[in-house]
Amino acid sequence: MKTISVLAMLFAAAAMPALAQAADIDWTKVDAALGKSAVVSGDVHRYGLPRSDLKVTLDGVAIKPALALGGWVAFAPMGGEATVMGDLVLLDTEITPVMTSLLDGGLDITAIHNHILRASPATFYMHVGGHGDPVKMAAVIRSALAASETPFDPPTTGAAPTPAIDLDTAKLDEIMGVKGTAVGGVYQFGVPRRDPSVEMGMKVTGPLGGANAINFQPTGNGKAAITGDFLVTGDEVNPLIRTLRANDIEVTAIHSHMLDEQPRMFFIHFWANDDALKLARGVRAALEKTAIAKS
């Protein structure tokens, strides 16, 4: 018993410095370096970077930032420092200068791609990653985004009130099987997978971009524009996209967001503008082709 107690004490002593370092992250300094306040979910600090400056239209729909222009970065403590993951919304002319600044600052680029088609102006999505001092990484991200028009100023006082969600949200919740959230005039659903993927020894959860994201923007008379992304394994890709097409939902992109996650995951983006309840049924049928968490 004495040997076990000594080993336990030695293990605890070895583990304490890393735990203390993680706990000692001064998140107020990260906030200051990035010029934003975080939404905190457990250990994850997520910062919204919506492109509210852009006026993007698609098939006659004025895209709200919460529908398809919601950039973000999220930090999670790891090994006494932090891991960062994120998705930056950029115009084509902003991609190279932002990328160059991020790379010069020691961060990694893990993907660049479209999410939607036919949008005017065209928008692209740059996924970033890194591990290190969270304050330094936040400063690099802030500096890099200075090469874009990404807004950092807080909303002006007296801004227009958030539009109401002109949809039967209770029925949408029932069909989708999860409770949605109204954000910026858009009704959003986050549907986690049953078993999150793992990258660098850390589970990639919803706040880090590891969940199915389904967004509904009302377009009048019970209709909605929908977009977002499904998070699937390779064997789930074609069953899911066949179901989307069978329900008249356009598949707009299939790609990766990360580099080393296990199991390997693919993100499927989509678009439709039709009766909201009909689209919800199609989305739910597609989700059933994947290993989602069941309540």
Please give the residue range of the domain that contains residue 59: 26-145
Judgement on whether residues 130 and 212 belong to the same structural domain of the protein: no
Domain assignment present for residue 4? The answer is no
**Close Cβ partners of 100 (under 8 Å, ≥ 6 residues apart):** none
The pTM for the full model equals: 0.86
Q: Is residue 226 part of a domain?
A: yes
Place of tokens 């993907």: 111
- On whether both 41 and 138 belong to a single domain, the answer is yes
Residues 254 and 180 in one domain: yes
Q: Are residues 263 and 220 in the same domain?
A: yes
Report the pLDDT value the prediction gives residue 19, as an integer from 0 to 100: 38
Distance (Å) of CA 192 to CA 127, 175, 186, 295: 20, 16, 19, 10
Given this model, what pLDDT does residue 156 score?
58
Same domain, 41 and 98: yes
* Low-confidence residues of the chain: pLDDT under 70: 1-23, 155-160, 206, 295
Which residue type, as a one-letter code, is found at position 142? R
Question: Chain-centre distance of CA 13, in angstroms?
Answer: 36
pLDDT for 23: 57
Q: How many domains does the chain have?
A: 2
pLDDT tens-digit series, residues 189-200:
999 988 887 877
> First-to-last CA distance in the chain?
43
Q: What is the rounded distance in angstroms from the CA atom of residue 189 to the CA atom of residue 126? A: 22
- Does residue 293 form part of some domain? no
CA distance 112 to 87: 9
Q: Is the residue at 3 inside a domain?
A: no
Handedness of CA 293, 267, 196, 181 (dihedral sign): negative
Q: Tell me the helix, strand and coil percentages in the chain, rounded to 5.
A: 30, 35, 35
140 and 173 assigned to the same domain? no
Work out the number of other CB atoms within 10 angstroms of the CB of residue 99. 19
CA nearest to 137, candidates 182, 190, 51, 73: 73
Q: Are residues 41 and 131 in the same domain?
A: yes
Residues 115 and 38 in one domain: yes
Compute φ and ψ for 189, nearest 5 degrees. -120, 135
Same domain, 224 and 280: yes
Q: Answer yes or no: do 97 and 176 share one domain.
A: no
Question: Which amino acid, residue 178?
Answer: V
Q: In the prediction, which pLDDT does 119 show?
A: 97
Helix residue spans in 37-86 (DSSP H):
65-68
* Closest alpha carbon to 78 in 44, 112, 111: 44
Give the per-residue pLDDT at 263.
Answer: 86
Q: Is residue 7 part of a domain?
A: no
ω into 263 cis (within 30 of 0): yes
